[in-house]
Chains A and B, each alone.
Chain A
């Protein structure tokens, strides 16, 4: 996927763990892990909304388009 998820960076900046975020937005740690590791195929607006709300960020801070990295990642994972 050419879309990279920057959740790790956001959490690091805010000194927050993935478990804490999962608790605060009412998502399972498993699902949030899928998002963090870039294995998600789709993201709900409600999920995006909850994360942006909790981390006081914009969707653009969370997602980034990275074509070159994506090509390598895709060939490695498939």
Chain B
């Protein structure tokens, strides 16, 4: 029993934005891959960052490479989040979002967000390790209270959706 949803601009916008973000995510992945594969030359990185050859600079380059690899690992995780969000938006547009499939999607999103937070912790730690006063490395990574709250909230929301889907099923069978 699906009710027609009131038309709102938010859903088409979310739908389009998510589709764009999915493409941007793949482009980012391709860019990181290109950085790792096509330009592995240490000299090139040194000159790009205006680094003078030193043990510190070599460590920085190593650190940057490690961070790039972790960035590559984040691409499929981002894809999991975006693809499932898109599927959820589609169920809202269809007028039936309280289904067990959406609870499962939220659960998958929560796990992906958890993995992304862990990646961020590792990236932050690497940045801190390789950063020196001569070559400071400022990255927007590391522990984020908001990030971890989002993870918790998403797990919670997945449970709420699962309960909601059960209640919806009961209600549909009530005459």
Question: Please, which residues of chain A bring their CB within 8 A of the CB of B169?
Answer: 41
User: What 1/0 flags go to A14-58 for Cβ under 8 Å of B?
Assistant: 000000000000010001101100011111100100000000000
User: What 1/0 flags go to B151-175 for Cβ under 8 Å of A?
Assistant: 0000000000000000001101111
A39 CA / B175 CA spacing, docked (Å) = 10
Residue of A whose beta carbon sits closest to that of B170? A41
Specify which of B169, B170, B173, B175 lies most central, judged by the most chain A CB atoms within 10 Å of its CB: B175
Interface residue tally of chain B, by bracket? Answer: under 10
A44 CA / B174 CA spacing, docked (Å) = 7
Question: Please, which residues of chain B bring their CB within 8 A of the CB of A35?
Answer: 175
Chain B stretch 119-175: residues in CB contact (< 8 A) with chain A: 169-170, 172-175
Number of A positions contacting B (CB below 8 A): 12
Question: Please, which residues of chain A bring their CB within 8 A of the CB of B173?
Answer: 34, 39-42
Question: Please, which residues of chain B bring their CB within 8 A of the CB of A44?
Answer: 174-175
A52 CA / B163 CA spacing, docked (Å) = 33
A44 CA / B173 CA spacing, docked (Å) = 11
- How far apart are A30's CB and chain B's nearest CB, in angstroms? 9
User: What 1/0 flags go to A54-78 for Cβ under 8 Å of B?
Assistant: 0000000000000000000000000
Question: Please, which residues of chain A bring their CB within 8 A of the CB of B170?
Answer: 41-42
Residue of B whose beta carbon sits closest to that of A33? B175
A32 CA / B174 CA spacing, docked (Å) = 10
Question: Please, which residues of chain A bring their CB within 8 A of the CB of B174?
Answer: 40-44
A41 CA / B172 CA spacing, docked (Å) = 8
- How far apart are A29's CB and chain B's nearest CB, in angstroms? 11
Given A39-B173, A43-B174, output 16 extra A-B contacts at Cβ < 8 Å.
A27-B175, A31-B175, A35-B175, A40-B174, A40-B175, A41-B169, A41-B172, A41-B173, A41-B174, A42-B170, A42-B173, A42-B174, A43-B175, A44-B174, A44-B175, A47-B175
- Chain B contacts to A: CB under 8 angstroms: 169-170, 172-175
- Chain A contacts to B: CB under 8 angstroms: 27, 31-32, 34-35, 39-44, 47
- What are 13 inter-chain pairs, A to B, with CB distance below 8 A? A31-B175, A35-B175, A40-B173, A40-B174, A40-B175, A41-B169, A41-B172, A41-B173, A41-B174, A42-B173, A43-B175, A44-B174, A44-B175
